[in-house]
Amino acid sequence: MWQMKRRGSPLSKRQETVLRLREVEKLTCEEVGLRLGVSRDRVRQISATGRAIREDYARNGVCGWLMLPMRVRNVLWNLDLASRSKVKAAIKTGKFFWDEKRKQVLYKGISPRNMGRKSWLVLLEWASDDWEKRDAARETEREQRSEDRS
């Protein structure tokens, strides 16, 4: 089942593999494509996206724009909220919020397309200031569960 969530690591396995094959093993796009069963052009796309995500992560860490799922990024881009500070300001001023009665996200009274509850929760997590505390708490909780099972 597909789940929307903020990226846990900056690169997907496929992006990591393509970048490793291109940069470390110095294979051509065609050679990488043959290995992975994709076209040369698709390898270029994966490589370009992987490099962009890696650079964004190096500059901004987990608060980077590219750590959000594509659906959320597209909605924010269309609403002219293409930065974490703009999103935080819109949430803080009440322009951007989850309407529990209507069960939808509203921005200036209008519901953006393709923005449901899961997208909203991911967005809140990304925009919040205490994401580090939450991630650390989740990791501690997982460790305690695994110890209890032992």
| Domain map (residue ranges) of the chain | 13-65, 68-149
C-alpha–C-alpha distance, residues 71 and 100, integer Å? 21
Grade residue 11 by pLDDT with cuts at 50, 70 and 90: confident
Per-residue pLDDT, 46: 94
Tell me the pLDDT tens digit for each residue of 25-44.
999 999 999 999 999 999 99
Distance CA 62, CA 134 (A): 13
Report the predicted TM-score, pTM, of the whole model to 2 decimal places: 0.62
Backbone φ and ψ of 15, nearest 5°: -65, -45
d(CA 57, CA 75): 21
Q: b/e for 85-114, b at 16 or more Cβ within 10 A?
A: eebbebbeeeebebeeeeeebbbeeeebee
Helix (H, G, I), strand (E, B) or coil at 97: strand
